[in-house]
Amino acid sequence: MTRALAVCLAAAALGSACGPGAECGFEPQCAGLTAYYACAKTEVARIECPAQQFCSMDAAKQLPACVGGYTVSGTATYAKRAQTTAGLAAPVQTPIPDVSLAVVDDVGNVMGTGFTDAEGHFTLAYQPLSGVTVHVMIFASADPTTGVPLTVNARSGIFGYGAPPFVSEPTHAQDIAVTEDEACEPFNVYATAFKSFKYLKTLTSVSLTPLTYLIYPGYAPSCGSCYYSDTNTIHLEFTADNSDGFDDAVIDHEFGHYVQNRVSMSDSAGGSHNGSPASPLLAWGEGYATYYSSSARHNELYIDTFADPGSPNGYASYVFSLRSNLYPAVRTLPMTQNLSEWLIAEILWTLEDTATPGLSKPPTATMDILGKVVRQGHVDRGVTGFDLVDFLDEWFIQRGLDDCAAFRTLLATKRFPYDFQAPGAACP
Amino acid sequence: MRSWLPLVALALALAGCAKTGAPRAEPIGKPQIPAELLEHRAKAPPLAPHPTRLVRLPGGAVVEELRP
């Protein structure tokens, strides 16, 4: 029996016989995860190996076969530095949830892929080649089975980090501990945004389009840190003087703009802003984003840290509490007056703040109103475009008049001259 | 020549003045840190360059891998 015929018969036994009229005669081989049984110049039978299995040549039979892989297992963590009112706290190793992993050899061939679980644990199968130097690469793209469409990119691709190498063996144990700031900050962006996505999914069922953060050492976007709605991309500064990679409040502020874009809309023209009274459209857009940041983090403080070599831990903080009342409106001006973005953030935060008598609404209430403002039939009051007046009007239209008294108290504190005349839902 | 503008205006009015979400002129950034907080701090040393390489995944995506 010729070897080519033997190959053909073996392939037939595996369910990969050559089709009618095809002839055997080519070398069977592995190519990645695929076993090829060549039959004729115009036909090639092939078998895709199932998950967690890999193509390997059986030396005795000289045939490709799908076999179980080697495995490497451990826990993936990064050194998180939490924001404080005086810079950044000391680093704490923190799990990286539902993130992508690959086993890579010396020259960059990918030998297996997988994901961590919600606690950062992983077991990764890879091609069973003994004695090869490999390492685990962790890269900031979420496991698609979580429903979180999140990726953190560097300059030329998804942000990745290579763990120390080891020699391949059937089972290997190795934790991945990312400790260098230049890698920890992008993974903090990933972990923070991942948590925000999970929070958002508890508030709304709208479909979520992919969101990409862009951050890498030395990156200085012309806008500072900002969100581009046309590409659903958030750019974060990472320079020696200022990095937002550990600034969870900023990461979530920009995420708040993505939420607006997906669930509702913003008529803000964008551009720079500093809390001073500005167009009601800009104030609404920025104030909502800051509120969302606090809601997602369950923390009333907006903090933005910056490098300050003179400070004890090398960082200082810009802090604003949404429980303050520092930027009230002017009671004697119309409700179309310019407003501070902080005023908007304070009002929205107060709605769900359990410390507020008479309100303490669930965050789903605000999210629901946000989506309703864009309905057909909404009457645009206030300035033209989505502003605080539209939100307040829709609150009473959708939720009735039970909250009139509480809102009168709240808006009196904030000195905002709302007229409580929502179309069809005027407060008594 | 007959103008279509009145018809367009009528259509918009009948649509109930629905919000439109006009395109933004600029990207949306974070609140600026007040200048007085920044002006007295010392200059931080520049970030050191970090070696990276590109790894192509089976699906075609590219990872920029930072090597420790």
Please give the average pLDDT of every successive group of 10 residues along chain A, which has 428 residues: 46 52 60 60 63 78 80 98 96 98 95 96 93 97 97 97 96 95 94 98 95 95 91 94 95 96 87 89 96 97 92 91 95 97 97 85 95 90 96 97 96 97 97
- B2–A contact, CB cutoff 8 A: no
The pLDDT of residue B24: 52
- Residue A115 CA to residue A187 CA, distance in Å, equals 14
B26 — pLDDT class (breaks 50, 70, 90): low
- Per-residue model confidence as pLDDT tens digits over B4-14: 544 544 444 44
The pLDDT of residue B15: 41
Q: Give B37's contacts in chain A (Cβ within 8 Å).
A: 306, 316, 318
> Regarding predicted confidence, which is higher, B68 or A244?
A244
The pLDDT of residue A37: 59
The pLDDT of residue B42: 65
The pLDDT of residue A155: 94
- Residue B4 CA to residue A30 CA, distance in Å, equals 67
B36 — pLDDT class (breaks 50, 70, 90): confident
The pLDDT of residue A5: 45
B19 — pLDDT class (breaks 50, 70, 90): very low
At position A213, the amino acid (one-letter code) is: Y
User: Smallest CA–CA separation between B2 and chain A, in Å?
Assistant: 29
The pLDDT of residue B12: 42
Residue A244: C-alpha distances to residues A142, A160, A165, A240, A337 (Å): 21, 18, 30, 11, 32
- A227–B contact, CB cutoff 8 A: yes
- Residue A399 CA to residue A250 CA, distance in Å, equals 31
Is pLDDT at B20 greater than 50 in this prediction?
no
Interchain proximity A306–B67, CB inside 8 Å = no
Is pLDDT at B17 greater than 50 in this prediction?
no
Could you tell me what percentage of chain B is helix, strand and coil, using 3-state DSSP and rounding each to the nearest 5? Answer: 20, 20, 60
Q: Which of A347-351, B33-37, B40-44 has the highest mean pLDDT?
A: A347-351
Q: Which residue of B has its CA nearest to A241?
A: B44
The pLDDT of residue A17: 52
The pLDDT of residue A35: 66
Interchain proximity B64–A266, CB inside 8 Å = no
- B43–A contact, CB cutoff 8 A: yes
Interchain proximity A307–B44, CB inside 8 Å = yes
